[in-house]
């Protein structure tokens, strides 16, 4: 017997991006998978990415539930027709606290939350995860009203959401150019000297990671691990 590839059926639960429509098409596709030699049906997946930015929280929970119900109705349809569904997968960092608490979901597709970034915090209201990923910028010049760091958009993304400092409340983001970051200095600030290093929280971790070749893992200020970042060719 040859190799059988385990597969999930991706269902469009409202995002209008990928997946087949809920209902009859899901049952039909599952039956085709069962009829194939090389595939093993494992379950279903959806992604409620269209509700991540919904506010207030009660409305986000309601819309998330509405999307997940579409997925669970598909599970019920399959089970009702004798198809056993091992995996029901949904969610991501932007809604993980809602999705993981939802009865019937067996797996959550969260990824970027291991790093966290300003976009998850500001746009998707994720306030239960710490910022693990930072970029270290070095002060290269000082002006009366602002500082210039050597960290521009070649090393971190400001496309989805502006970066911010980890612990310098006196510095406000102004803009990034390719090799520089310009930060407004608050009046009365202790200031910084050329050569000082400032830890920066990136706007969006996904569009920052691929700009780098190595990730330095620190625990309590001590380098514990250096990971090589392998990029798709
Ligand atoms: C299918 C799918 N699931 C989950 C996610 C969420 O990923 P993350 O937790 O990195 O935001 C995404 C992001 O685009 C996705 O495409």
Q: What is the mean pLDDT of residues 97-105?
A: 97
Q: How many residues are listed for the chain in this entry? A: 233
pTM over 0.85: yes
| Contact of 46 with 11, CB cutoff 8 Å | yes
Residue pLDDT, tens place only, 102-126: 999 999 999 999 999 999 999 999 9
Candidates 51, 111, 120: which one to mutate for ligand 1, based on the most atoms within 8 Å of Cβ?
111
Q: Which residue has the higher pLDDT, 202 or 188?
A: 202
**What Cα–Cα distance (Å) separates residue 17 from each residue in 11, 49, 133?**
10, 9, 28
Q: What is the largest CA-CA distance in the chain?
A: 74
State which H helix or E strand residue 96 sits in.
helix 96-99
Q: How confident is the model at residue 181 (pLDDT cuts 50, 70, 90)?
A: very high
- Count CB atoms within 10 A of the CB of residue 42: 17
Does residue 47 have its Cβ closer than 6 Å to ligand 1? Answer: yes
Residue pLDDT, tens place only, 34-59: 999 999 999 999 999 999 999 999 99
- For the chain, give the percent of residues with pLDDT over 90: 94
> What number does the ligand 1 atom closest to the CA of 110 have?
9
Partnered with residue 218 across adjacent β-strands are: 223
| The predicted structure's pLDDT at residue 1 | 64
Does residue 123 have its Cβ closer than 6 Å to ligand 1? Answer: no
């Amino acid at each position: 017997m040859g190799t059988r590839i385990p597969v999930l059926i991706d269902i469009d639960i409202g995002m209008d991006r990928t997946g087949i429509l809920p209902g009859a098409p899901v049952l039909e596709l599952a039956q085709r998978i069962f009829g194939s030699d090389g595939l093993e049906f494992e379950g279903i997946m959806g992604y409620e990415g269209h509700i991540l930015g919904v506010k207030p929280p009660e409305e986000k929970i309601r819309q998330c539930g509405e999307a997940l119900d579409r997925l669970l109705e598909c599970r019920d349809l399959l089970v009702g027709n004798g198809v056993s569904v091992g995996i029901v997968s949904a969610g991501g960092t932007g809604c993980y606290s809602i999705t993981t608490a939802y009865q019937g979901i067996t797996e959550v597709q969260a990824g970027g939350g291991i790093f966290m970034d300003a976009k998850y915090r500001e746009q998707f209201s994720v306030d239960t995860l710490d910022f693990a990923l930072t970029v270290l910028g070095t002060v290269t010049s000082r002006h009366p009203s602002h500082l210039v760091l050597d960290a521009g958009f070649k090393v971190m993304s400001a496309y989805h959401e502006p970066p911010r400092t980890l612990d310098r409340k006196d510095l406000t983001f102004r803009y990034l150019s390719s090799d520089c970051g310009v930060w407004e200095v608050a009046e009365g600030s202790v200031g910084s000297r050329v050569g000082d290093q400032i830890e920066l929280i990136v706007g969006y971790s996904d569009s920052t990671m691929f700009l780098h070749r190595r990730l330095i893992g620190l625990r309590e200020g001590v380098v514990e691990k250096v990971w090589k970042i392998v990029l798709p060719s």
